[in-house]
């Protein structure tokens, strides 16, 4: 009885099973990195906000004393953690008072699963009111929207 052909068949079948498993794993990994934009699954999103916060400070690249209520004289920090699976990019933080742009900061975003960046503004007497900070992608889409209010300083 010749066992040589059966051994080759087993080896070939095992090789095919391993190849199939590897294909499934690589395909699953590629699909995990794709995000859907407006329900269109054919467009991969490579830049997105993972976390965001408004805070009184940033230390060790993390927000300190998060809040959405600030006073005149305080610094407001708009902080974001971004995932960028493409080449280096930029986001813009547009600070708006009562819906009107007042200040903007263009921030570099490197290729990373978690790139943290921020901008800040010291609130003055004429800054009392409702504010927003929009985090805007290079294509103009709004990645995140942070809202806060500024109250007069307590004397």
Chain segment 34-74, per-residue pLDDT in tens: 333 333 444 445 899 999 999 999 999 989 999 999 999 99
Residue 19: pLDDT band by 50, 70, 90 thresholds? low
Contact between residue 93 and residue 134 where contact means Cβ atoms under 8 Å apart:
yes
Contact between residue 12 and residue 3 where contact means Cβ atoms under 8 Å apart:
no
Name the residue with higher pLDDT: 60 or 29: 60
| pLDDT, average across residues 16-44 | 43
What distance in Å separates the CA atoms of residue 101 and residue 115, rounded to the nearest whole number?
25
What distance in Å separates the CA atoms of residue 104 and residue 147, rounded to the nearest whole number?
15
Name the residue with higher pLDDT: 136 or 3: 136
Q: Assess whether pLDDT exceeds 80 at residue 97.
A: yes
């Amino acid at each position: 009885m010749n066992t040589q052909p059966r051994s080759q068949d087993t080896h070939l079948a095992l090789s095919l099973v391993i190849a199939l498993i590897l294909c499934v794993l690589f395909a699953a990994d590629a699909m995990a990195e794709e995000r859907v934009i407006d329900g269109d699954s054919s467009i991969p999103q490579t830049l997105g906000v993972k976390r965001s916060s408004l805070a009184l400070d940033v230390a060790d690249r993390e927000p300190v004393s998060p809040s959405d209520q600030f006073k005149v004289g305080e610094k407001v920090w708009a902080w974001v953690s971004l995932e960028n699976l493409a080449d280096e990019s930029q986001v813009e933080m547009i600070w708006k008072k009562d819906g009107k742009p007042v200040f903007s900061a263009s921030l570099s975003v490197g290729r990373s699963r978690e790139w943290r960046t921020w901008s800040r503004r010291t609130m003055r007497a004429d800054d009392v009111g409702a504010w927003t900070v929009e985090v805007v992608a290079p294509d103009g889409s709004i990645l995140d929207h942070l809202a806060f209010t500024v109250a007069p300083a307590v004397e």
